Amino acid sequence: MPVLRLFAAAREAAGTGRDEVPGGTVAEVLATASARYGASFAHVLETCRIWVNGDAATPGDRVAPTDEIAVLPPVSGGSDAGLPADIEDVRDRRRRLQELDDAISYVRRVAQARADLTRAEQARRAGTATDDVALDEVLADRLLGGGDRPPRPAEDFSDHPRALELDERCARLGFARLDQLTDDELAALAAGLDEVEQAASAERHHVHAELDSLTDALIEGYRDHYEGTVDDEDDA
């Protein structure tokens, strides 16, 4: 569920600095929050800027369960000055890591789908297959299936260097001619795809750890920038 972080007057109106609020878009999350916290919060919200994962957001922007939505009232005196340069640097680094995570996630899911098809061919040869495996069903399960961090709406990553590396390995191992591979070649292909998937999973783990650290750094930056929000004990 998306995490809502509230600062300064927004935090005071809501009575909390952190909450989990359901919604598929920024507008839905904020509407639920307004209903939850009341008219005073809704009034404060009218003057706030909204950021998702450190980037300025619009009401129609979609949000994932792992996204962080920050409600940022104008700074003291009504100024709409930008955040300090060090926070901007954190935002840029976080954005680049999110793009890398999208690409790695794409490659991981494609490798999983191709491994499923390879094992389906192994099962067919061994006489243990229960049903024919449909390509569209495999792709729907692997490329669109859920996970701890579902893929965010993003561009086509089929031309990303990571995806091209996967395609090159599949070409070398004969994925395009599954039914012509020997049993040993088929086993080597499955092992190669497993290796790609495991490496991508490990890399995503490290990327997620850094993303979490950068999110914490952004929240610290927000707290330092917005008056009256340093004490965060009631966020739990």
d(CA 67, CA 90): 16
Q: What is the band of 115 on the pLDDT scale with cuts at 50, 70, 90?
A: very high
User: What confidence score (pLDDT) does residue 233 get?
Assistant: 42
DSSP letter, residue 50: E
Place of tokens 């300090």: 84
Provide DSSP, 21-68: ---SBHHHHHHHHHHHH-HHHHHHHTT-EEEETTEE--TT-B--TT-E
Which percentage of the chain shows pLDDT scores above 90? 35
Contact residues for 152 (Cβ-Cβ < 8 A; gap 6+): 62, 64, 98, 102
User: What confidence score (pLDDT) does residue 229 get?
Assistant: 42
Q: What is the band of 137 on the pLDDT scale with cuts at 50, 70, 90?
A: low
Q: Which residue has the higher pLDDT, 129 or 10?
A: 10
Average pLDDT of the segment spanning 44-57: 85
User: What confidence score (pLDDT) does residue 157 get?
Assistant: 85
User: What confidence score (pLDDT) does residue 221 get?
Assistant: 73
Contact between 128 and 70 under an 8 Å Cβ cutoff? The reply is no
Q: State residue 21 phi and psi, 5-degree precision.
A: -130, 125
Q: State residue 72 phi and psi, 5-degree precision.
A: -115, 100
Residue 141 has pLDDT above 70, yes or no: no
How far from the centroid of its chain's Cα atoms is residue 148's Cα? Answer: 9
Residue 183 has pLDDT above 80, yes or no: yes
pLDDT per position as a tens digit, 191-233? 999 999 999 999 999 888 888 888 777 777 766 666 544 444 4
User: What confidence score (pLDDT) does residue 148 get?
Assistant: 47
User: What confidence score (pLDDT) does residue 88 get?
Assistant: 73
Q: What is the band of 65 on the pLDDT scale with cuts at 50, 70, 90?
A: confident
Burial of 33 (0-12, 13-18, 19+ CB in 10 A): buried
Average pLDDT of the segment spanning 94-98: 83
Average pLDDT of the segment spanning 139-156: 52
Residue 174, both tokens: 């004969």
State the average pLDDT for the chain: 80
User: What confidence score (pLDDT) does residue 168 get?
Assistant: 94
Q: How many CB atoms lie within 10 A of CB 182?
A: 9
Q: Which residue has the higher pLDDT, 187 or 78?
A: 187
3-class state of residue 116 by DSSP: helix
Q: What is the band of 131 on the pLDDT scale with cuts at 50, 70, 90?
A: low
User: What confidence score (pLDDT) does residue 78 get?
Assistant: 40
d(CA 231, CA 233): 6
Q: State residue 68 phi and psi, 5-degree precision.
A: -110, 120
Amino acid found at 33: A
User: What confidence score (pLDDT) does residue 85 get?
Assistant: 63
Provide DSSP, 100-140: HHHHHHHHHHHHHHHHHHHHHHHHHHHT---SPPPHHHHHH
